[in-house]
Amino acid sequence: MTRIFFCTAITLVSFMSGCATLSETECISGNWEQIGYQDGKSGRDKDYILNHESSCIEYGVELDRLAYEQGRQDGLQRYCTSSNGYNRGVRGNHPNLSCHEQQFPQYYDGLLQGLEVRFDDIQHELSEAQKEHDILSEVYRRVEDEEEKKRIDNELEDLDHDISSLERERNDVDDLINRYRPYH
């Protein structure tokens, strides 16, 4: 029984230390404005402080939430840029909700531009896939060899899957564009 308890305790301590966002030294030195700034610069939301709190509670350190949030807001000024918005948009991602539209309109300008580029890229990929599908379908109709027909049929199935995925992604990006266009 003691051995099971000991193994469980070791596992729990190992697990908890693996999740720590701050070391004991960082908790004790507690430059909360700087820690908040780094988190804001990384685009982390205001609840991320809870991760730090759980790391530092075992050392008996209390966080300065006001200093942390001030630093985080300053860091968000560096993160919530038009360039970061564009980069998220061009990948078809949702915006980082730490970047509030009223506070960071340039972020949403970039996001919308990126989403529009992504939409155009998907449209082009979709058009190319559909052309390839049409060509393969015509080749399939003309081929007589059963082995070759099976190979082409497999390619057509793969293309159908790719086309469906692209259509879903296009619709998702279009929804995002329509959702965030009203901000402009």
Tokens of 143: 């081929």
pTM of structure: 0.79
Phi, psi angles (nearest 5°) of residue 99: -90, 95
What radius of gyration, in Å, describes the C-alpha atoms of the chain?
A: 26
Rounded distance between C-alpha atoms, residue 166 and residue 159, angstroms: 10
Tens-digit pLDDT profile for residues 100-150: 999 999 999 999 999 999 999 999 999 999 999 999 999 999 999 999 999
Instruction: Quote the pLDDT of residue 58.
Output: 87
Reported as a pLDDT band with limits 50, 70 and 90, residue 19 is low
